Amino acid sequence: MRDSWDSLPVLAQDLIIAGALLLPLLVIGGVLMRGFRPLPLVRALMWRFRWANLLFILLIAVSTGMGIGLIAQERGLRIGSAQAAEKFDLVVTAPGSELTMMLAAVFLQPSAVPLLDGVAYDRIANHPQVQIAAPIAFGDSHDGAPVVGTITDFVTYLSDGRIEGRIFARSGEAVVGAAIDLQIGDRFTPAHGRGSGADAEAHEGVEIEVVGRMARSGSPWDRAILIPVETVWEVHGLANGHTFEEGDRIGPPFTPELFPGTPAVIVHAGELWANYALRSEFTVAGETMAFFPGTVLADLYRVMGDVRQAMSVMSIVTQVLVAASVLLGLFILTRLFQRQLAMLRALGAPRRFVMAVVWGYGVTLLVAGTALGLAFGYAAALVLSRIVTQRTDILVTASITWAEVNLALGFLSAMSLLSLVPALVVLTRPVVENLRQ
């Protein structure tokens, strides 16, 4: 049983779950409405109490949409940030907070971090399992965008080789991210620091030429300017990692004694398993710290998961309150048309027909509210995603998955069961009493 379930495609599983959730609704609907045509009367009630109905529908929609929007947004942010970090298998930095280091090296958030020296870099770069050991030197900016010093291998790896123009070939050239407002051939002078504290004059006289543009990656690196790490060192008046005899050559290997230091080294191993061995090896007390950004994110998501659960509980509480008020509303509204329902009974309508009318009316409100709620949730997630993407450059895509749809369907189904209560209550009062009212 379990095996055959697991062997089904995910979509089939979702559809089956959705069907199972809707089953109570369909069964009740089928049993109540079989052979009857209650819809004209449901329509009449919808029109008669249109303002109250609209209010109920909006109430259901907002409460459903809130829950769905939150869940969808949380997932979008989680997937977006994980994808933005996907290229960063292993990060080696000086010991400190993994979170701070990850935000600085992977998400390019400005922060002052200690440096790794040439010996440490050399040890990493020369490890047999290491394919790319990219120094990441940040701290400068242009027009708010971080200017990051690194090596060509890393630029190729980061962009999957999708570069318009060419990669930098000598100090003083730059490859820009897709979201940078500079054209190939443009020249700029980097400012020292980032944000409001950036000093535009510090590097006066330095001119960097844009020679290439990376394709969009959906990560903060879309808004970064990549230059040879040597250039970063040079504009700060430091050694550039190479001896005088090497001339203008850029990139590894570097001479450890002439290596001014780098805040972080992004490591890419030849094989997947090697990353785990490298993490153990590059974690050296008091010297270096190695971590998987994926693991740091996982810790973060666990916290986010707790917050999400708390929010889910709140949104469920909201939903239950809304459900209660909708039920109460149904009670009140059914009182208002109790005489007409009694008239139906007097004309000879079976109980089941009267129930079908009242239940159908309630379920129409619920279905309309839930459908609108899904739309609301999607719209909310869309707007939130735009804002987050704009502020962080982490590409957050809003999407409504079957999980949300099924959540909404579950709510709908449970409420449709509860809607039987007002329908039953209508029938408990004697017809004659209701006729006399």
Partner 1 sequence: MAMPLQISDLEVRAGRRMLLTVAELSAPAGALIGIRGPSGAGKSTFLHALSGLIEARGRLCWGEVDLPRLRPERRTAFRARNMGLIFQDFLLFEELSPQDNAGLSGLFKPRRNREAIGARAAKALARLGVPEGTRTVGSFSGGERQRVAIARALATDPGLLLADEPTASLDRRAADALIEDLTGLARAGGKTLIAVSHDTHLLERLDRVLTIEDGQVTEDTGVQAA
Partner 2 sequence: MKHLLAALLLMTTPVLAEEGHDHDEPAHAFEIGGLEILHPWTNATDHDHALLFMDLHNEGAAPVEILGARLDSGVEGQLVGFRMKGGEMGFETLPPIPVAPGRQLALAPDGLAIRFDGLEAVLEEGHHWEVILLTSAGELEIDVVIEAEDARQHGHAGHSH
* Smallest separation (angstroms) from partner 1 to the CB of 331: 21
Helices and strands of the chain, counted as H and E runs: 15, 11
Of the ranges 3-11, 30-38, 189-197, 235-243, which one interacts with partner 1 (CB under 8 A)? 30-38
36 binds, among partner 2, partner 1, none (CB under 5 to 8 A by kind): partner 1
407: helix, coil or strand? Answer: helix
Phi, psi of 349 (to 5 degrees): -70, 135
Shortest distance (Å) from residue 46 CB to partner 1: 9
Interacting partner of 272 out of partner 1, partner 2, none (Cβ under 5 to 8 A depending on kind) = partner 2
Q: Any contact of residue 31 with partner 1 (CB under 8 A)?
A: no
The answer to whether the bond into 253 is cis (omega within 30° of 0) is yes
End-to-end CA distance of the chain: 57
Q: Which is nearer to partner 1, 33 or 174 (CB)?
A: 33
Beta carbon nearer to partner 2, 205 or 286: 286
Picking from 99, 112, 110, 106, the residue whose alpha carbon sits closest to that of residue 150 is 106
Q: Does 309 bind partner 2 (CB under 8 A)?
A: no
Pick one of partner 2, partner 1, none as the site partner of residue 170 (Cβ within 5 to 8 A by kind).
Answer: none
* 5 sits near partner 2 (criterion: CB under 8 A): no
| Beta strands at 173-176 and 187-188: parallel, antiparallel or unpaired | unpaired
Residue count at the site for partner 1 (CB under 8 A)? 27
Instruction: Let me know the angle formed at the C-alpha of 376 by 372 and 377, rounded to the nearest 5 degrees.
Output: 120
Task: State which of residues 33, 60, 78, 175 lies at the interface with partner 2 (CB under 8 A).
Answer: 78
Helix (H, G, I), strand (E, B) or coil at 214: strand
What are the start-end ranges of the H helices in 151-221?
152-159
Question: In this complex, which beta carbon is closest to partner 1, that of residue 9 or of residue 348?
Answer: 348
**Per rule CB under 8 A, count of chain residues that contact partner 2:** 31
Cα–Cα distance between 163 and 252 in angstroms, integer?
21
197 lies in the site for partner 1, by CB under 8 A: no
Minimum Å distance from CB 340 to partner 1? 6
Concatenating the DSSP letter of every residue in 95-144 gives: SS-HHHHHHHHTS--------B-HHHHHHHHT-TTEEEEEEEEEEEEETT
Among the listed residues 166, 302, 339, 386, the single contact to partner 1 using CB under 8 A? 339
Q: Could you give the CA distance from residue 18 to residue 12 in angstroms, rounded to a whole number?
A: 10
Smallest gap from Cβ 96 to partner 2, in A, equals 8
How far apart (Å, rounded) are the C-alpha atoms in residues 230 and 150?
Answer: 8
SS3 180: coil
34 near partner 1, rule: CB under 8 A: no
299 binds, among partner 1, partner 2, none (CB under 5 to 8 A by kind): partner 2
Residue 309 near residue 302 (C-beta atoms within 8 A): no
Between CA 171 and CA 166 the distance in angstroms is 14
User: Crossing angle for the helix pair 402-418 and 420-428, nearest 10 degrees?
Assistant: 10
What is the nearest approach in angstroms of partner 2 to the Cβ of residue 268? 15
Select from 132-140, 185-193, 341-349, 379-387 the region that touches partner 1 (CB under 8 A).
Answer: 341-349
- Is 273 one of the binding residues for partner 2 (CB under 8 A)? yes
* Residue 353 engages partner 1 in binding (rule: CB under 8 A): yes
Which of residues 99 and 418 has its CB atom nearest to partner 2 in the complex? 99
Residue 435 lies near partner 1 (rule: CB under 8 A): yes
Reported as half-sphere exposure (CB side, CA atoms, 13 A), residue 143 has a value of: 11
The listed partner (partner 2, partner 1, none) that binds 123, CB under 5 to 8 Å by sort, is none
Cβ contacts of 33-38, under 8 Å, gap ≥ 24:
33/356, 33/360, 36/352, 36/353, 36/356, 38/353, 38/356, 38/357, 38/360
Name which of 126 and 243 has its Cβ closer to partner 2.
126
From 57-65, 244-252, 286-294, 386-394, give the range in contact with partner 2 by CB under 8 A. 286-294
* Residues near partner 2, by CB under 8 A: 75, 78-83, 85-86, 95, 272-273, 275-277, 279-281, 283-286, 289, 292-295, 297-299, 301
* Residues near partner 1, by CB under 8 A: 35-38, 40-41, 43-44, 47-48, 339-340, 343-351, 353, 430-432, 435-436
